[in-house]
C-alpha cells in the first residue's frame, strides 16, 4: 500500500508527498522532516518572495489604465469571477425552470384548444391550474431568496458606509497634521508632502472594493425570474378568463345576439395563446468556467486532430526514406509558421466551407471553434510527426532480425514490431504537441473569437480598466496551472509506455 | 549428403572500396544432425557474422550456405537463432514474446492449443512463475531463458546460439549450461554454440572449432571432444582429454594472437614489442 502510494507520487511527479507518506507510516521522522522541509519549504519560500516582489512592484508600476494590480487585488478579482460564474449558473437554472413551466402550460393549452370534448377540456383546465400552483410556489420561494440576499447586500452596504465614514473622520482628524490653515500640504522632513497622493488613493480604494457581489447578483437574477414567472401567471389568468367566457358564450341560448362578442373574445384568446407559445433563447456571455471548458475542449480537439494526422504521416516517413526525403522540405517550411498566420487562413477556409445556412452554431461546435482547434493542430503536430518518424526509423535492428527469423509478414512487422517500439518516441512527441497546442490556443482563440480563455483575455483587454487587468492576471494563472496539469498527465503516460532497460544481470 | 548445415567456401565482407572490411574468409563447415558444435574465438572476429550467415540474416559475399542440402536464401523458422543480446521485445511479457513466435509458426492451430504450446516452452525453461512479467522486470539469466524458449517454441531443427551466456555471472551461467544440455538431450536438436569461453565449449559440445584472428578470419581445425557424457563439471579439470584439448585450442588462439601482434608491428614500423604471448585468453 505504502509502496504503491510512493510509486504513484513518483509517477505523477508529486514527489513532495513522498516524505509525508513515509512520515505517516512511521519511517525515521528526522530524515523525512528534513526531506519535507527541502521539498516543500524551498518552493514555498520562492513562492512567498515572488508574491512579495509582485506586491512591491505593483505599488510602483503604473499601467496605461492605472496601478498594476497586486496579489490581493487579483485574488479579490478571482473571487468576483467565481461569484459571477455561480450567479451565471443560477441565472441559467432560473431560466430553465421558467421555460419548462411555460412549455408545459403551452402544451396543455394547445391540447385544450384542439379537443372538442367538454370533459377533456375540463380536466386539462384543472391540470393547467395545478401548474399555476407550481409557479406560485416557485414565486414564493423566489421572494424568500430575494429577502435573504437583499439583507446580506444591505448589511454589506451599511458596513461599507460605516467604514467610509470612519475613514473620513480619521482623515479629518489627521488633516490638521498634514494641511496648514491655508489648506496647503505640510512637508515632511524628506521634503515630500506628509499625506501623498498614493496614500490618499489607497484610502479611496475602499470605495472601489466590491461589496457582496454574489448576493447582489442573486437579487438581480431572482427579481428578473420573479418578473418572468409573474407575467406567465398573468397570461395564464387572462387566457383563463377569456376561456371561461368562451365556454359560457357557447352554452348560452341567445347566440345570435352574442355573435360580435364571441368573435372579439376569440380573437383576444388567440392573441394570448400565441404569446404563451412563444419561447425565448437563453443567451449570455458565459462565465470563466465556460471559457475554461471550451478552451480545454478546443485543445483536446486540436490535439486529437494533430495526433490523427501526425502519427500516420510520421509512420510513413519513418518507414520510407523516400517519403521522408519528399516531405522533409514541406515539414521544415511549415513547422516554424506562427499561429497568427495559420489562424487567418483557417478562418477563410472553414468559413468558405460552412457558410450561410451551413454555418455551425451548436453550443460547442461553432465555426470559431473549428478555427481555433484546427490552428492548434496545424501548429502543434510537427513535434509528433518528427518524433514518430524518428521512432519508427530507429527501430532496433535486433528486433527486426527477430521479425526476419520469424518470417513475419509486412503487416505484422509494422504493427507488432515497428509501431510498438516507436511508442515511447510517439508519446514524447505527443507531450510536446499538447504543450505547444495549449500555448498556441490562447492566440488562436483571440484571433478566431472562439469563446475560450484567449477570447476572454482579449475582451478584458478591450475594456481598458484596472479591474480587467486583474482579470487577465487571473487568467494567466489559470492558463499556467492547466498547462502544467496537462503536461503532468502526458508525462505520466510517457512514463507508463517507456520500457528503458535498467535492470542488469 | 546428410549434413543438416553446410558452409562451402563462405566469405563475407562489409562496405565497399576504401571502407571494405574483410571479416570472414573461406569458411568450410559441415554439421551433422543432432550434433553439438561450439565455435570459440576472440570478440570482434566475426562470430556474430558467422551465426547470421548460418541463420540466413546475412548473405555470403562468396560461397554458399546449405541447409539440409538446399541453398539458404533467407531466414527460416527451422533455423532458430538466439541472439547475443537476447533481443526480447520490451513491450511484451514473457508470454507475449514466446507467443509472437508460436502464433507465427502454428497459425492453423486454435487459440487454446497455441496457449498450451506457449506454456509448455515457458515451463521448459522454468519461467512459469514469471510468465506475465516484462523483460525489464527479469534478471539477465531469466531474459536469456525467455530467448531460448522463444527459439525452441518455433521447433527448429537447428538452434544457433550467439554467445548466449557471455553476459551472465558464473553461477547463473553454469545453471543455464546444464539447462541447455538437458534440452539438447531431450529434444535431440542440432546446436551451434558461439562462445568466448573455451571451458564452456569443452564442457558442452561434441566438437569445438576455434576461429582465427581477422581480418579474413577463418575456422581453425575442428577438435572432437571425446569425453563421455554426462560430464562432471567438478572433475572435468582433472580429465586428461579435457586438459589436452584445452591446451591445444588455447595455443591455437594464442598463436593467432601472436601473429597478429607481429603483423601490427611490421605494418606500422613502430618500436618492437617483446615476443611474449599471454598465458590464456
Ligand atoms: N553490418 C555491419 N557493417 C559493417 N561492419 C560490420 C557489420 N557487422 C559487423 N561488422 C564488423 O565485423 C566485425 C565482426 O563483428 P561480429 O561478427 O559482431 O564479431 P563478434 O560477434 O565475433 O564479436 C566487427 O569488426 C564489426 O565492426
Ligand atoms: Mg558477437
In a domain, A126, yes or no: yes
Query: Is the domain of A367 the same as that of A224?
Result: no
Which pLDDT belongs to residue A378? 93
For ligand 1, the distance from its centroid to the CA atom of residue A392, given in whole angstroms, is: 24
Which pLDDT belongs to residue A259? 81
Query: Is the domain of A234 the same as that of A369?
Result: no
Query: Is the domain of A311 the same as that of A256?
Result: no
Least confident of A120-129, A246-255, B150-159, B262-271: B262-271
Q: Which of B91, B148, B156, B172 to mutate to test the interface with A (most CBs of A within 10 A)?
A: B91
For ligand 2, the distance from its centroid to the CA atom of residue B68, given in whole angstroms, is: 25
Phi and psi at residue B62, to the nearest 5°: -140, 160
Domain ranges of chain B: 1-44+59-78+156-209+218-240, 91-155
- Full DSSP string of A273-333: HHHHH----------HHHHHHHHHHHHHHHHHHHHHHHHHHHHHHHH-HHHHHHHHHHHHH
User: Does the C-beta of B44 come closer than 6 Å to ligand 1?
Assistant: yes
* Chain B: residues touching A (Cβ < 8 Å): 52, 55, 57, 74-77, 79-81, 83, 85, 87, 89-92, 100-101, 104-105, 134-141, 154, 167-169, 172
Task: Return d(Cα A205, Cα B157) in angstroms, integer.
Answer: 91
**Subunit contact B141:A408, Cβ cutoff 8 A:** no
pLDDT tens for each residue of A165-214: 887 777 777 766 766 667 677 777 777 766 665 665 565 555 455 567 77
pLDDT at A502 over 50: no
Query: Is the domain of A428 the same as that of A331?
Result: yes
In a domain, A440, yes or no: yes
Which pLDDT belongs to residue A202? 60
User: Does the C-beta of B80 come closer than 6 Å to ligand 1?
Assistant: no
Give this prediction's pTM: 0.79
**Subunit contact B89:A421, Cβ cutoff 8 A:** yes
Search chain B and give the residue with CA nearest A418.
B89
Q: Which of A396, A404, A405 to mutate to test the interface with B (most CBs of B within 10 A)?
A: A405
Question: Which residue's CA is the closest to the ligand 1 atom numbered 18?
Answer: B48
Q: Which atom of ligand 1 is nearest to the CA of B14?
A: 4
Distance from the Cα of residue A343 to its chain's centroid:
22
Confidence label for A503 from pLDDT (cuts 50, 70 and 90): very low
Mean pLDDT of A221-226: 91
In a domain, A504, yes or no: no
Task: Return d(Cα B137, Cα A42) in angstroms, integer.
Answer: 36
pLDDT tens for each residue of A225-253: 999 999 999 988 888 888 888 888 877 77
Q: Taking a C-beta distance cutoff of 8 angstroms, is the pair A471, A479 a contact?
A: no
Query: Is the domain of A271 the same as that of A126?
Result: yes
Partners of residue B167 in chain A, C-beta under 8 Å = 505
Residue for grid cell 514541406: A330
Residue for grid cell 584472428: B213
In a domain, A269, yes or no: yes
**Subunit contact B167:A505, Cβ cutoff 8 A:** yes
Query: Is the domain of A101 the same as that of A234?
Result: yes
pLDDT tens for each residue of A23-44: 788 777 788 888 888 888 888 9
Q: Taking a C-beta distance cutoff of 8 angstroms, is the pair A384, A434 a contact?
A: no
Confidence label for A418 from pLDDT (cuts 50, 70 and 90): very high
Q: Which of B81, B89, B138, B143 to mutate to test the interface with A (most CBs of A within 10 A)?
A: B89
Q: Which of A406, A498, A499, A500 to mutate to test the interface with B (most CBs of B within 10 A)?
A: A406
DSSP helix, strand, coil percent of chain B (3-state; round to 5): 40, 20, 35
For ligand 2, the distance from its centroid to the CA atom of residue B163, given in whole angstroms, is: 7
The CATH fold of domain B1-44+59-78+156-209+218-240: Rossmann fold (3.40.50)
Which pLDDT belongs to residue A504? 37
Which pLDDT belongs to residue A139? 93
Q: Which atom of ligand 1 is nearest to the CA of B47?
A: 22
Q: Which residues pair with B193 in a beta bridge?
A: B38, B161
pLDDT at A46 over 50: yes
Mean pLDDT of A7-21: 80
Which pLDDT belongs to residue A32? 80
For ligand 2, the distance from its centroid to the CA atom of residue B52, given in whole angstroms, is: 10
In a domain, A270, yes or no: yes
Which pLDDT belongs to residue A500? 66
Which member of A399, A407, A412 has the closest CB to residue B75?
A: A407
Average pLDDT, chain A: 86
pLDDT tens for each residue of A128-168: 999 999 999 999 999 999 999 999 889 988 888 887 788 77
Query: Is the domain of A9 the same as that of A82?
Result: no
Partners of residue A411 in chain B, C-beta under 8 Å = none
Query: Is the domain of A25 the same as that of A80?
Result: no
* Domains identified in chain A, total number: 3
**Subunit contact B87:A398, Cβ cutoff 8 A:** yes
In a domain, A283, yes or no: no
Which member of A405, A499, A503 has the closest CB to residue B91?
A: A499
Question: Which residue's CA is the closest to the ligand 1 atom numbered 7?
Answer: B14
Q: What is the side-by-side strand order in the sheet with B70-71?
A: B21-32, B3-14, B62-67, B70-71
Phi and psi at residue B5, to the nearest 5°: -145, 140
For ligand 1, the distance from its centroid to the CA atom of residue B77, given in whole angstroms, is: 24
User: Dihedral angle at the C-alpha atoms of B138, B144, B146, B151, nearest 10 degrees?
Assistant: 160
For ligand 2, the distance from its centroid to the CA atom of residue B84, given in whole angstroms, is: 6
Least confident of A13-22, A131-140, B71-80, B212-221: A13-22
Query: Any idea how long chain A is?
Result: 505
Task: Return d(Cα B175, Cα B192) in angstroms, integer.
Answer: 19
ipTM over 0.90: no
Which pLDDT belongs to residue B281? 43
Q: Which helix (H) or strand (E) holds A384?
A: helix A367-393
Q: Closest ligand to B44 CA?
A: 1
Query: Is the domain of A242 the same as that of A311?
Result: no
**Subunit contact A398:B90, Cβ cutoff 8 A:** no
Query: Is the domain of A323 the same as that of A471?
Result: yes
The proportion of chain B whose per-residue pLDDT surpasses 90, expressed as a percent, equals: 46
Q: Closest ligand to B43 CA?
A: 1
Domain membership of residue A11 as a residue range = 2-60
User: Does the C-beta of B213 come closer than 6 Å to ligand 1?
Assistant: no
Which pLDDT belongs to residue A389? 94
Answer left, alpha or beta for residue A315, where phi above 0 means left and psi between -120 and 50 means alpha: alpha
Which pLDDT belongs to residue A415? 92
Query: Is the domain of A91 the same as that of A176?
Result: yes
Q: Closest ligand to B214 CA?
A: 1
Rg of the Cα trace of chain A?
Answer: 34
User: Does the C-beta of B14 come closer than 6 Å to ligand 1?
Assistant: yes
Confidence label for B266 from pLDDT (cuts 50, 70 and 90): low
User: Does the C-beta of B87 come closer than 6 Å to ligand 1?
Assistant: no
Query: Is the domain of A88 the same as that of A216?
Result: yes
Mean pLDDT of B127-141: 90
Q: Which atom of ligand 1 is nearest to the CA of B41?
A: 22
A415-420 long-range Cβ contacts below 8 angstroms, 24+ apart: A416/B100, A417/B89, A418/A315, A418/A318, A418/A319, A418/A392, A419/A315, A419/A392, A420/B89, A420/B91, A420/B92
Task: Return d(Cα A452, Cα A296) in angstroms, integer.
Answer: 8
Q: Which atom of ligand 1 is nearest to the CA of B58?
A: 1
For ligand 2, the distance from its centroid to the CA atom of residue B169, given in whole angstroms, is: 18
Confidence label for A467 from pLDDT (cuts 50, 70 and 90): confident
**Subunit contact B141:A505, Cβ cutoff 8 A:** yes
Confidence label for A307 from pLDDT (cuts 50, 70 and 90): very high
Amino acid at each position: 500500500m505504502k509502496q504503491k502510494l510512493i510509486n504513484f507520487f513518483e509517477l505523477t511527479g508529486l514527489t513532495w508527498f513522498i516524505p509525508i507518506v513515509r512520515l505517516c507510516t512511521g519511517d525515521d521522522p528526522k530524515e523525512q522532516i528534513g526531506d519535507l522541509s527541502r521539498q516543500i519549504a524551498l518552493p514555498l519560500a520562492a513562492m512567498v518572495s515572488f508574491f512579495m516582489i509582485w506586491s512591491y512592484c505593483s505599488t510602483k508600476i503604473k499601467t496605461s489604465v492605472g496601478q498594476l494590480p497586486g496579489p490581493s487585488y487579483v485574488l479579490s478579482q478571482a473571487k468576483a469571477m467565481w461569484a459571477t460564474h455561480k450567479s451565471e449558473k443560477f441565472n441559467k437554472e432560473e431560466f430553465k425552470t421558467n421555460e419548462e413551466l411555460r412549455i408545459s402550460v403551452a402544451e396543455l393549452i394547445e391540447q385544450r384548444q384542439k379537443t372538442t370534448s367538454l370533459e377533456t377540456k375540463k380536466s386539462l383546465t384543472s391540470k393547467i391550474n395545478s401548474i399555476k400552483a407550481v409557479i406560485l410556489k416557485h414565486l414564493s420561494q423566489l421572494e424568500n431568496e430575494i429577502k435573504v440576499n437583499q439583507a446580506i447586500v444591505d448589511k454589506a452596504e451599511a458596513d461599507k458606509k460605516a467604514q467610509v465614514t470612519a475613514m473620513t473622520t480619521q482623515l479629518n482628524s489627521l488633516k490638521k497634521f498634514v494641511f496648514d490653515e491655508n489648506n496647503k500640504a505640510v512637508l515632511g522632513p524628506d521634503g515630500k508632502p506628509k499625506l501623498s497622493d498614493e496614500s490618499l488613493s489607497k484610502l479611496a480604494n475602499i470605495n472601489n472594493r466590491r461589496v457582496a457581489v454574489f448576493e447582489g447578483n442573486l437579487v438581480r437574477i431572482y427579481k428578473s425570474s420573479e418578473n418572468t414567472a409573474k407575467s406567465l401567471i398573468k397570461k395564464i389568468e387572462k387566457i383563463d378568463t377569456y376561456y371561461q367566457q368562451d365556454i359560457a358564450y357557447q352554452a348560452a341560448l341567445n347566440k345570435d345576439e352574442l355573435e360580435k362578442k364571441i368573435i372579439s373574445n376569440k380573437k383576444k384568446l388567440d392573441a394570448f395563446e400565441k404569446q404563451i407559445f412563444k419561447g425565448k433563447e437563453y443567451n449570455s456571455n458565459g462565465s470563466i468556467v465556460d471559457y475554461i471548458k471550451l478552451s480545454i475542449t478546443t485543445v483536446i480537439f486540436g490535439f486529437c486532430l494533430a495526433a490523427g494526422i501526425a502519427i500516420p504521416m510520421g509512420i510513413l516517413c519513418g518507414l520510407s526514406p523516400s517519403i521522408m526525403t519528399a516531405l522533409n522540405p514541406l515539414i521544415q517550411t511549415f513547422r516554424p509558421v506562427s499561429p497568427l498566420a495559420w489562424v487567418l487562413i483557417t478562418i477563410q477556409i472553414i468559413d468558405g466551407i460552412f457558410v450561410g445556412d451551413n454555418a455551425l452554431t451548436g453550443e460547442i461546435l461553432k465555426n470559431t471553434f473549428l478555427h481555433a482547434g484546427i490552428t492548434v493542430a496545424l501548429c502543434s503536430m510537427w513535434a509528433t510527426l518528427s518524433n514518430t518518424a524518428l521512432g519508427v526509423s530507429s527501430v532496433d535492428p535486433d528486433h527486426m532480425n527477430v521479425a526476419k527469423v520469424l518470417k513475419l509478414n509486412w503487416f505484422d512487422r509494422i504493427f507488432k514490431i515497428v509501431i510498438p517500439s516507436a511508442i515511447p518516441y510517439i508519446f514524447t512527441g505527443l507531450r510536446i504537441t499538447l504543450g505547444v497546442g495549449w500555448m498556441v490556443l490562447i492566440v488562436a482563440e483571440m484571433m478566431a473569437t472562439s469563446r475560450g480563455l484567449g477570447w476572454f483575455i482579449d475582451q478584458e483587454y478591450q475594456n481598458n480598466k484596472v479591474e480587467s487587468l486583474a482579470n487577465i492576471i487571473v487568467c494567466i494563472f489559470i492558463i499556467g496551472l492547466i498547462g502544467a496539469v496537462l503536461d503532468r498527465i502526458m508525462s505520466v503516460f510517457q512514463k507508463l509506455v517507456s520500457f528503458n532497460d535498467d535492470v542488469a544481470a | 549428403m546428410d549434413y543438416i548445415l553446410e558452409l562451402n567456401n563462405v566469405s563475407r565482407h562489409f562496405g565497399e572500396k576504401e571502407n571494405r572490411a574483410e571479416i570472414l574468409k573461406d569458411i568450410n563447415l559441415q554439421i551433422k544432425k543432432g550434433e553439438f558444435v561450439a565455435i570459440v574465438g576472440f570478440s570482434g572476429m566475426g562470430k556474430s557474422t558467422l551465426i547470421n550467415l548460418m541463420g540466413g540474416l546475412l548473405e555470403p559475399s562468396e560461397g554458399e550456405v546449405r541447409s539440409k542440402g538446399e541453398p539458404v536464401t533467407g531466414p527460416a523458422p527451422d533455423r532458430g537463432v538466439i541472439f547475443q543480446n537476447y533481443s526480447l521485445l520490451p513491450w511484451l511479457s514473457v508470454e507475449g514474446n514466446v507467443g509472437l513466435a508460436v502464433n507465427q509458426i502454428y497459425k492453423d492451430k486454435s487459440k487454446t492449443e497455441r496457449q498450451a504450446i506457449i506454456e509448455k516452452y515457458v515451463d521448459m525453461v522454468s519461467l512459469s512463475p514469471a510468465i506475465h512479467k516484462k523483460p525489464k522486470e527479469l534478471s539477465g539469466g531469466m531474459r536469456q531463458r525467455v530467448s531460448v524458449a522463444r527459439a525452441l517454441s518455433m521447433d527448429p531443427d537447428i538452434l544457433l546460439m550467439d554467445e548466449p551466456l557471455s553476459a551472465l555471472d558464473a553461477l547463473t551461467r553454469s545453471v543455464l549450461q546444464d539447462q541447455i544440455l538437458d534440452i539438447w538431450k531431450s529434444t535431440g536438436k542440432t546446436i551451434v554454440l558461439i562462445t568466448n569461453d573455451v571451458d564452456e565449449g569443452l564442457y558442452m559440445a561434441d566438437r569445438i572449432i576455434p576461429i582465427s584472428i581477422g581480418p579474413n578470419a577463418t575456422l581453425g581445425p575442428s577438435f572432437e571432444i571425446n569425453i563421455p557424457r554426462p560430464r562432471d563439471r567438478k572433475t572435468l579439470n582433472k580429465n586428461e582429454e579435457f586438459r589436452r584439448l584445452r591446451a591445444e585450442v588455447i595455443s591455437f588462439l594464442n598463436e593467432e594472437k601472436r601473429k597478429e601482434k607481429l603483423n601490427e608491428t611490421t605494418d606500422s614500423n613502430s618500436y618492437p614489442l617483446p615476443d611474449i604471448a599471454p598465458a590464456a585468453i
